[in-house]
Amino acid sequence: MLDPQLFQVAPPGRRASALDDTFIPLSQAEVDWPAPSLAALEAAVGKASSSAMIGAVCWRFTEATGINGAALLSAVQARASQDLCLCNPTPELEGAYANLWMQGNTVHPRLLEAAVAFFKANKWDPVALTEVQPSRVFSSSQYLIGRKTFWSAYLPFVHDALDRALSKIPRRTAKWMAEPVTDPRDPQHPITYWPLIIERLIPVFLKGPGAALKVARLPSVLGEKRLNGHLRRLREMKDVAHQSKSAWLIGCWMHYRNSYLMNVIDRNWCTQHLPALTSETHEFY
């Protein structure tokens, strides 16, 4: 039986009673941004056996997913053969957007510009920023529980990418990337572009250094309940289009997606964002 080590990050001043006692509490002060690594997490990875599962979630994990600590522990133990378990708390985005870069740009209008600079600094193909990604790799937050085989590859990947970006991105660009912008998920705590980029790197990693890893998705209980029939069909349609690499079917998905958004979202938003979201240059992940 696996004995996962699961950490829960708590912001300063957050009462310990507000945290799930299944997790190991970790102070926000120990989080080293813009790098996503946690000192305690890295130390645990260094000491862990190759079969141990280690991860960290934010203090709002249960609120966001409907999965408490005991349920998460059980879910991870049931997937003992996997190298990585990930959970996307916002599955409603999976059918509505080609990928999380394009979704993020509708919230933070310069995200794609920042991501292009980050990708160029790392000599990565920026086509990945507009490609169609299947729902299995959507990960809009750092809800990751993995074996040493995952962390020993992923942490250096992120550190190296960040180091290259910090050394090669022009100073003027790096300056505005480091300026706080309002985050709709937590308006009281502005965020910079660095963590917005880093939290979207899992698909890049899984297509590159992590391609051989076995990955399991943990469904978000609350997130799945938010999906209506249209969002479920849009997700399925996009996944089938990706699997078949059908340009015709992805075009049909875009038409359906646009019609849906125009009926549920403010038309000004649609006028502003749908042209960029409806690009004819999409490649497949």
pLDDT value, residue 33: 47
pLDDT value, residue 12: 60
Burial label, 64 (beta-carbon count in 10 A; 0-12, 13-18, 19+): buried
Same structural domain for residues 21 and 74?
yes
pLDDT value, residue 9: 74
Residue 75 resides in a domain: yes
Same structural domain for residues 213 and 233?
no
Q: Please name the residue that has the structure tokens 């005991």.
A: 70
Same structural domain for residues 133 and 55?
yes
Same structural domain for residues 97 and 194?
yes
Same structural domain for residues 25 and 163?
yes
Same structural domain for residues 81 and 174?
yes
C-alpha separations of 196 from 20, 100, 114 in Å: 26, 10, 10
Residue 12 resides in a domain: yes
Residue 168 resides in a domain: yes
Contact 4, 41 (CB under 8 A): no
pLDDT value, residue 36: 44
Residue 284 resides in a domain: no
For 201-225, how does the pLDDT look when each residue is reduced to its tens digit (9 = 90+)? 999 999 999 999 999 999 999 999 9
Same structural domain for residues 147 and 77?
yes
Residue 139 resides in a domain: yes
- 124, 135, 114, 132: which is closest to 193 by C-alpha? 114
Residues of the chain with pLDDT under 70: 1-2, 10-18, 27-40, 185
Cα–Cα distance measured from residue 108 to residue 200, given in angstroms and rounded to the nearest whole number: 14
- What's the gap between Cα 231 and its chain centre? 19
Residue 179 belongs to domain spanning: 5-227
pLDDT value, residue 178: 92
Same structural domain for residues 29 and 166?
yes
Same structural domain for residues 261 and 208?
no
Same structural domain for residues 235 and 211?
no
For 149-165, how does the pLDDT look when each residue is reduced to its tens digit (9 = 90+)? 999 999 899 999 999 99
- 77, 73, 49: which is closest to 61 by C-alpha? 73
Residue 196 resides in a domain: yes
Same structural domain for residues 116 and 196?
yes
Residue 285 resides in a domain: no
Residues with Cβ within 8 Å of residue 246, at least 6 apart in sequence: 240
Residue 283 resides in a domain: no
Same structural domain for residues 41 and 144?
yes
Domain count, the chain: 2
pLDDT value, residue 42: 78
